Amino acid sequence: MATDKKFIEAVLEKLEPLEITAKPMFGEYGLYYRGKNFALVCDNTLFVKITAAGAAIAGRVGQASPYDGAKAAYRISPAKLNDRDWIVSLVKTTSDALPLPKKRK
């Protein structure tokens, strides 16, 4: 099941004032902040990458794989997604902890 365009728009709205870019990927979306992929949106669910720095903010958030064969990520519930201060903080901290993507030759 692919992610609904209305859902991705709602996620981007919840993450304002951050300048998040959503790139379509095989019917789902990759989310980018400051050039770093920090999350996937699959089947109308937000999955944020797990980092040591993000763990301090995430607390007792469940983990799941966004798709078969993928690494586990934080599965963000609708209630947590509606907590703007928490989700913005998690995104900033997670993104800061991730390396910049390698340049292609």
The model's pLDDT over 10-34, given as tens digits with 9 standing for 90+, comes to 999 999 999 999 999 988 999 999 9
Which tens digit of pLDDT belongs to each residue from 72-97?
Answer: 999 999 999 999 999 999 999 999 99
Residue from 94, 13, 99 nearest 61 by CA: 94
Provide the residue type at 11 as one letter.
V
Question: The whole model's pTM is what?
Answer: 0.93
For domain 5-97, give its CATH number from 3.90.110.10, 3.40.50.450, 3.30.1460.30, 3.40.50.720.
3.30.1460.30
Q: What is the three-class DSSP state of 77?
A: coil
Work out the pLDDT band at 102, boundaries 50, 70, 90: confident
Percentage helix, strand, coil for the chain under 3-state DSSP, each rounded to 5:
35, 30, 40
pLDDT at 22: 96
